[in-house]
Structure 1
Amino acid sequence: MATSVILPTYTVGTWAANVDDDYGCRWVVTSQTLNSGSTRKMHTTERPFGMGAYRARSYLGARSDTVQGWCQAPDFAGAASARDRLLALFADGGQSILVRNDGLSSRQLTVELDNAAVKVEPWSDAQGFDWQLQLYAVDPRWLDTAVQTAGPISVGGASTDGLDFTAGSPGGLDYTAGTPGGLDWGTSGTGGVLALSNTGTATSFPVFTVTGPVTNPTLTNPATGDVIAYTGLVDVGQALVIDTSPFSRSVALNGVDRSGFLASAQWIEISPGSQASVQFSGTGAGSVTATWQYAYN
C-alpha cells in the first residue's frame, strides 16, 4: 500500500504521486496547475454603434492542467518498471478519475491525457526520471468524493386539511357537548419533498432514482419552476434513473434508455452555496432517492 510522504497526494487508478509506492519508488510532484480555478467562457458581441459590448451569461470552461515531478527508484530495473506504469495511464484513450487528498478533504476530477505526450526524462544514474503529465477535463468541476443522499421519500399524498362542515360526518362544526362532532381539520397529506444542499462553489447536478410502482413520476423545483416529467409506468421491482449532469445526462429504466419518455426535461440543479427543494409526485406508491456530490471550481 502506497505511503504518503507529502500532502496533497494525487491518485489515478493504482498510480499515485507524493507517495512511496508498493514497488519502492518515490513519486514527488514539484509543480502543478490543479489548484487554479477554471477559465470562463465569455459570450459577448461588440456593440457596433455604441460603447462596450452585449453579453450573455458566462460559464466555466474545460480545463487543461500540467502536473510534473520526479520518480526515484531503488535500481535501474525499478526505474524502468515505474516508467512503464506511468506510460500505461490512459492507455485506452479514455477518462480516469484523479483524486486529490490534502488531509482535510478528498476531491476528484475526471481527466484524460491532453494532446501532449507524457514526458519522461531519465536521470544520468538511471535510477529515476523527471516526468510530466498534461491533463484535460471536459467537466472542470472538482467533486467531493463523498456522495450525498436524500430520501427515499414516497409520492406526495393529497392533503385533506381544512374544517369539515359536513353534517353527520365524524367531524364537522358541532358545538354540542358529548356528541362525536367538533372542529375537524382533517388529515395532512405526505410532503413528498427532497431537500438538497450544495456547500461547494460550483453547480451540482443530482441523480434521481425512482422505484415503482408509480405512474407518470414528476420532479419539480418550485423555486425555479423546473420540471422533469416522465410519461409511463415504473413497475414494482423497476428503477428509473435520471442523471441531470450535462456531462453524463441520461434517463434509463432498468438500464434501458428512456429519454424519449420525458414530457418535460427542465433539468434540476443545485446552485453553489445553496439549497434546493424537489417535489416528487405521481400516481402510485413509488419512491425517489437523490444522490449528488458537492462541486467546486
Structure 2
Amino acid sequence: MPSLVIMPTYTIGSWSANVDDDFSCRWVVTSQTLHSGSARKTHATERPFGMGAYRARSYLTARSDTLQGWCQAPDFTGAAAARDRLLSVFSDGGQATLVKSDGLSARQLKVELDATAVKIEPWADAQGFDWQLSLYAADPRWLDTAVQTAGPLTVIGAATDGLDWGSGGLDWANGGLDWGSSGNSGVLSLSNPGTATTWPVFTVTGPLTNPTFTNPATGDLIAYTGTVETGQTLVIDTSPFTRSVALNGVDRFGFLASAQWIEIPSGGQVTVQFSGTGAGTVTATWQYAYN
C-alpha cells in the first residue's frame, strides 16, 4: 500500500499523490486550486427605467482545477513506468472519482481531463518528472465519502388490535380489537450540514403500489405510478447530475406522474413524507455536500 508523505492525499483510482507508491516512486503535489470554492453563475438584467437590475437565483458553476507536482523514481525505468501510470488514469475519456483526504475527513469530486493534455516534463537525470493535471468537474460539489442513511421504514403495517368485523365481533385472541390493515405514513428526516445543496436517493422495496414522496414544507411531490412487486426494487435518484428512475435496473422514468425533485439545502434539514399502498419499505441515502 502507498505510504503517506504529507497531508492531504489525492487519489484517482489506483494513482495517489503526496505518497510513496507501491513502486517506490514519490509523488508530491506542489500546487493546486482544489481547495478554492466554486464560482457563481449570476443571472441579472439591467432595469431600463430604474436603479439596478432584475436578478434571479445564482447557482454554482462547474469547476476547472489544476493539480500539479513532481514524481521521483528509483531509476529511469521506474520513471517511465510512473509516467505511463499517470497517463492511464484518464485513458477512456470518462469521469473518475478524485478523493481528497486530510486524515480527518475524506471528500470526493467527479472529474475528467479538460481540453489540456496531461503535462509531463522529464528531469535531466531521467529519474523523475514534473507533472500537471488540468481537471474539469461538471458537478462542482465535493461529496462526503460517507453515505448517510435514513430507514428502512415500513410504510404500511398490519394492525393486530382493533375491531375484527370479519368474524362478527371482538377478537380477543389477538390481544384486543382488530381493525384489520392500517395505513401508517412514514416520515424521513434528512439533514445536510455541508455548504452546498445535496439530493437523496430513494430505494423502495415491494410490495407497494403508487409510492409517493412529499416535502410538506414546499409541497414538492415525487409520485410513481405503478406497482413494486415483492422482491422488486425501485430506485429514484433525485440528483440533477445522475437523475434516474429504475425498477430492478430497468428505466421507468416515464412512470412518474409528478417529478418535483426534493433537495436537502446546505446547512439544513428536510422532512420527507412517504406513502403508498402495501407493505413495502423505503430507504433514503445521501451524502453531505460542500462547495
Same-fold call, TM > 0.5?
yes
TM-score normalised according to structure 1 size = 0.89
Instruction: Tell me the equivalent position of 1:197.
Output: 191
Please give the alpha-carbon distance, in whole angstroms, between the structure 1 residues aligned to 2:45 and 2:183: 52
Which aligned segments of 4 or more residues in structure 1 are displaced greater than 4 angstroms?
156-159
- Structure 1 residue 156: Cα displacement: 5.1
Hey, what does 2:87 align to over in structure 1?
87
1:158 and 1:190 in contact (8 A); partners too? no
CA distance in 2 between partners of 1:47 and 1:195 (Å): 42
Q: Distance in 2 between matches of 1:144 and 1:106?
A: 6
Paired AA for residue 112 in structure 2: E
Q: Secondary structure at the match of 1:247?
A: coil
TM-score calculated relative to the size of structure 2: 0.90
Question: Which residue of the other structure, out of 229, 239, 249, is the alignment partner of 1:255?
Answer: 249
Give the aligned partner of residue 258 of structure 2. Answer: 264
**Cα drift, residue 189 of structure 1:** 6.6
Deviation at residue 191 of structure 1 after TM alignment: 4.4
Query: Residue 133 of structure 2 aligns with which residue?
Result: 133
- Report whether the alignment pairs 1:244 with 2:238: yes
1:44 and 2:38 matched: no
CA distance in 2, matches of 1:132, 1:51: 46
Q: 1:274 deviation in Å?
A: 1.1
> 2:121 touches 2:130 (CA, 8 Å); kept in 1?
yes
Larger Rg: 1
Cα distance in structure 2, aligned partners of 1:197 and 1:48: 42
Find the counterpart in structure 2 of residue 150 from structure 1.
Answer: 150
Number of residue pairs the alignment of both structures matches: 272
CA separation in 1, counterparts of 2:158 and 2:55?
45
How far apart in 2 are the matches of 1:4 and 1:58?
A: 39
Match of 1:276 in 2: 270
CA distance in structure 1 between the aligned counterparts of 2:157 and 2:238, rounded to whole angstroms? 25
Q: In structure 1, what is the equivalent of residue 163 of structure 2?
A: none
> Cα deviations across residues 19-67 of structure 1 (Å, max 9, x unaligned)?
0000000000000000000010111111222221110000001000000
* Gapped regions of structure 2 (runs ≥ 5): 160-168, 171-181
- Pairwise CA RMSD of aligned residues? 1.7
Aligned counterpart, 2:103:
103
The AA in structure 1 aligned to 2:272 is V
The 8 Å contact of residues 156 and 280 in structure 1, kept in 2 or not, is answered as: no
Q: Residue 34 of structure 1 aligns with which residue?
A: 34
Please give the alpha-carbon distance, in whole angstroms, between the structure 2 residues aligned to 1:278 and 1:287.
14
CA distance in 1 between counterparts of 2:228 and 2:183 reads 22
How many angstroms apart in 1 are the aligned matches of 2:284 and 2:63?
A: 28
| Residue in structure 1 matched with residue 174 of structure 2 by the alignment | none
